[in-house]
Amino acid sequence: MSTVPPAASIGLSTNHAPFIEQARAHGEIFIRQPYELYSEENQETWRRLYARIRPRWERYANRKFLQGVSNLALDPNAVPKLEEVNHFLAPLSGFSAKAVSGYVPAYVFFDCLRTRAFPTTVTIRDGRQLDYLPEPDIFHDIAGHVPMHTDKSFADVLVRFGEFAREAAEHVAGIRDEHERLLRMESILRAMARFFWFTVEFGLMCEAGQIKVYGSGLLSSFGEIEHSVSSPLVQRYPIRLEWVINQAFEINHYQPLLFVVESFEHLFELVHELEQWMKDGRLDNVAPGEPGVNETDLKSFLRK
């Protein structure tokens, strides 16, 4: 006869979380954070991830991020409770972290940003593999992304990007020919994904004459945060929209090419410019290659 393990030992690991699997099976995207399910091993994984990256943040992260970490009062010793994070976050920028069961179709994701909600993964990576994770976990989302959302200018960039996504869906909806509509949407989505990748996820910025990190993929990676700033193997260039939207990237290794913005106001301007390019048809035929655009993401935009 099998016995049901106590709730505290079940865990919410990336590779094993029955609660999440059940939510997905029921098609639930937005969920609660079942905090009671984190195991002691999950808590230990958070402690280890946080302890080792903290000194690297001090050295490589941008000023606004460090201020955000302090403003959020993140506990180094426990997986954060979204409710508590939001208590500190909401008054600063109106943003909140919203628990999700995993993958969120692209349009839904960007539309959440527009309404100042950030879809947040609640599972945490396996403690035996701290370094590389192809999918987000709560460390990436809360420790890598959310401190940036405390900054009003950066938060406004995300909202602007969400508005851009809505504009893009409306823009394409006006194309009569179905085949043409699909092709254009795919190209615009590829451009959007590349822009998001090279800024929000892997962006660098110039701060008082030094290169600092603001991209969350870098801020949540113990190895790559240092590599991105110090390695001679990385090409770092001032951001150029025409390059970013035509530049393929791969997710399974450290990035060999990164782009530098001057400020978050500069980034905001770039999103504005991106929208103008979209309206002018300049995103209709971007260079092929990674990332692939999956059907769910494509459909999520075409339904709007």
Name the site residues for Fe ion (rule: CB under 5 A).
216
Q: Give the DSSP letter of residue 263.
A: -
Of the two residues 60 and 109, which places its CB atom closer to Fe ion in the complex? 109
Q: Which is nearer to Fe ion, 140 or 190 (CB)?
A: 140
Could you identify the residue written with the tokens 């990035």? 255
Strand 204-207 vs strand 257-261: parallel, antiparallel, or unpaired?
A: parallel
> Going by C-beta distance under 8 Å and a sequence separation of 6 or more, which residues neighbour residue 118?
95, 96, 97, 98, 112, 141, 145, 146, 149, 158
Q: Which residues contact 41 (CB under 8 A, 6 or more apart)?
A: 11, 13, 127
Which residue number, 137 or 275, has a Cβ lying nearer to Fe ion? 137
Contact between residue 200 and residue 151 where contact means Cβ atoms under 8 Å apart: no
Nearer to Fe ion, 138 or 245 (CB): 138
Minimum gap (Å) between residue 119 Cβ and Fe ion: 10
Interacting residues of 128 by C-beta distance below 8 A, sequence separation 6+: none
Least distance CB 294 / Fe ion (angstroms): 17
- Nearest distance from C-beta of residue 216 to Fe ion, angstroms: 5
Please state the closest distance from residue 2 (CB atom) to Fe ion, in A.
37
CA atoms within 13 A on the CB side of 82: 21
- Please identify the residue of the shown chain whose CB is closest to the bound Fe ion: 216
Closest contact distance (angstroms) between CB of 137 and Fe ion is 10
Q: Which CB, 116 or 184, lies closer to Fe ion?
A: 116
* CA 12 from centre of chain: 20
Strand 235-238 with 210-213, pairing: unpaired
Only one residue has tokens 């994770």, namely 133
Residue 199 CB, nearest approach to Fe ion (Å): 11
Identity of the residue, 11 or 144, whose beta carbon is nearer to Fe ion in the bound complex: 144
